[in-house]
Structure 1
Amino acid sequence: MHVAEPTRAARTLLTRAVLEDLDRAVLCWLATVDQDMVPNVSPKEIFCPYGDDVLLIANIASPGSMRNIARNPQVCVSFIDVFRQRGFKLIGRATVIPRDAPDFTKLAEGLLRKAGADFPVHDAIHVRIERVERIWAPSYRLFPDRSVEERMQSAYAAYGVRPSSPDERV
């Protein structure tokens, strides 16, 4: 399988806002369906953008997700910044790029860098994004006048954590 260069989509789906929230997310959640159309949601720790309309996800230990994608490539990926209480849902079609594909190392460079020596990247899940939707915590609707900083302070208190650097305060 030949892996294409990152695309310049007619309409950039991975906007600056999406990329910022993606960068702050610790996990993303990959939703697939099995042969009986039963949903499966699986946390993914290693992921990165690729071009304007692709998200790459490392297959580290996901036999169920891999089987489901082979049967039905329609997927949904969601991620949130738990402290800012917002994120995105990315809907698209997934293909699996096997580790032995000729361009795998080039394509998966970002995944391999993030994985380091700790995580074995068996394949890359290539999600061509078709639609992007914002995810907001209910508090955005209930308390629209709260600032992002107020939301973050509330989340820090609720989770019993403190920011480790000044950058995490805003």
Structure 2
Amino acid sequence: MEDRAILCWLATVSEEGLPNVSPKEVYAEPSEGVFLIAEIASGRSLRNIRANPAVCISLIDVFSQRGRRLEGRARVVPADSEGFDALAAPLLAQVGTRFRIRNVIAVDVSTESAVRAPSYLFYPETEVAEMREGAMRSYGVRPRDDR
């Protein structure tokens, strides 16, 4: 499935067991089983990953109301460490000089599953186009003319 998610959502858990979910704007999947996130301003996510590397990532297309859920173990790769440049390359390609990437959050994905809105489950005849149209009406937006 092609991802049309604009953000990914990273879920972490603190040392005290408190959950945290935060949006991440800059991410990449350079290869199967590897998910990279640019750490730009994510102090709490970093602290949580250092205490507990288990993470969950959600990528949702808000218009089709479908997406993916990734689970795995994360590690923090600081900018001054060996291997940072290679990991940061696909992220820097997205942002150029707009943001300073302080660290890369590298996730080794162990499980991937589909995420679907309940309409797809309870009404199997539901079509993606129908969901897109409904979401666009709800959000008050129109499709872009991609000539």
How much has 1:155 moved relative to structure 2? 0.8
Q: What secondary structure, in the 3-state scheme, does the structure 2 residue paired with 1:108 have?
A: helix
Matches within 5 A, 1:102-141: 102-141=82-121
How much has 1:114 moved relative to structure 2? 1.1
Q: Specify the alignment match of 1:14 in structure 2.
A: none
| Residue type of the alignment partner of 1:29 | W
Q: Specify the alignment match of 1:45 in structure 2.
A: 25
Kept after mapping to 2: 8 A contact 1:115/1:121: no
Equivalent-residue separation in structure 2 for 1:50 and 1:69 (angstroms): 21
How much has 1:166 moved relative to structure 2? 4.6
Matches within 5 A, 1:60-139: 60-139=40-119
Equivalent-residue separation in structure 2 for 1:166 and 1:118 (angstroms): 26
2:8 is equivalent to residue 57 of structure 1: no
TM-score where L is the length of structure 1: 0.82
| Residue type of the alignment partner of 2:88 | A
The runs of 4+ residues in structure 1 deviating greater than 4 Å are none
Determine which of 13, 26, 46 is the counterpart of 2:6: 26
Equivalent-residue separation in structure 1 for 2:88 and 2:81 (angstroms): 11
Equivalent-residue separation in structure 1 for 2:92 and 2:29 (angstroms): 13
Q: Deviations over 1:12-63 (max 9, x none)?
A: xxxxx2xx22xx1111111111111010111100000021101000000000
Consecutive unaligned residues in structure 2, runs of 5 or more: none
Number of residues paired by the alignment?
A: 147
Equivalent-residue separation in structure 2 for 1:68 and 1:107 (angstroms): 21
Consecutive unaligned residues in structure 1, runs of 5 or more: 1-16
Kept after mapping to 2: 8 A contact 1:32/1:76: yes
| Residue type of the alignment partner of 1:40 | N
